[in-house]
């Protein structure tokens, strides 16, 4: 996996304070995840189009806070152990077209 893909990989800590055994991402609202990604200059990779597409649109309007990019996974990609190789390959191919640090800023891409 290249550096960009590694940088986008989610770090999960089930022992995170206040998470009750859930991952940090599960304990945060979508708005909080976007704010954290923005603060850490990270793109978001998600299959949750229903919730993140409106957040994307709100962020990119004039005067909006913007974001560092969103990469959407279609429903044909399942987040299972068997599919992880396919997801990583698609993510690496997508990132090959967005090599600059800000290439995805306020934009979206699809796997």
pLDDT at position 27? 84
Listing DSSP states for 12-49 in one string gives --TT-TTSTTS-HHHHS-HHHHHHHHHHTT--EEES-H
Distance CA 102, CA 94 (A): 14
Q: Crossing angle for the helix pair 49-60 and 30-39, nearest 10 degrees? A: 50
Report the C-alpha gap between 48 and 75 in whole angstroms.
9
Consecutive 10-residue averages of pLDDT for the chain (111 residues) = 42 41 71 95 94 96 95 91 93 93 94 93
Check: pTM over 0.75? Answer yes or no: no
What is the per-residue pLDDT for 94?
93
């Amino acid at each position: 996996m290249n550096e960009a893909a590694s940088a986008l990989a989610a770090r999960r800590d089930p022992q995170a304070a206040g998470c009750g055994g859930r991952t940090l991402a599960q304990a945060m609202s979508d708005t909080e995840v976007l704010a954290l990604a923005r603060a850490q200059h990270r793109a978001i990779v998600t299959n949750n189009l229903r919730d993140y597409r409106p957040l994307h649109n709100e962020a990119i309007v004039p005067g909006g806070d913007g974001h560092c990019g969103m990469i959407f996974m279609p429903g044909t990609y399942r987040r299972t152990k068997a599919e992880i190789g396919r997801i990583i390959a698609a993510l690496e191919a997508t990132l090959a077209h967005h090599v600059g640090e800000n290439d995805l800023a306020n934009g979206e891409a699809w796997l």
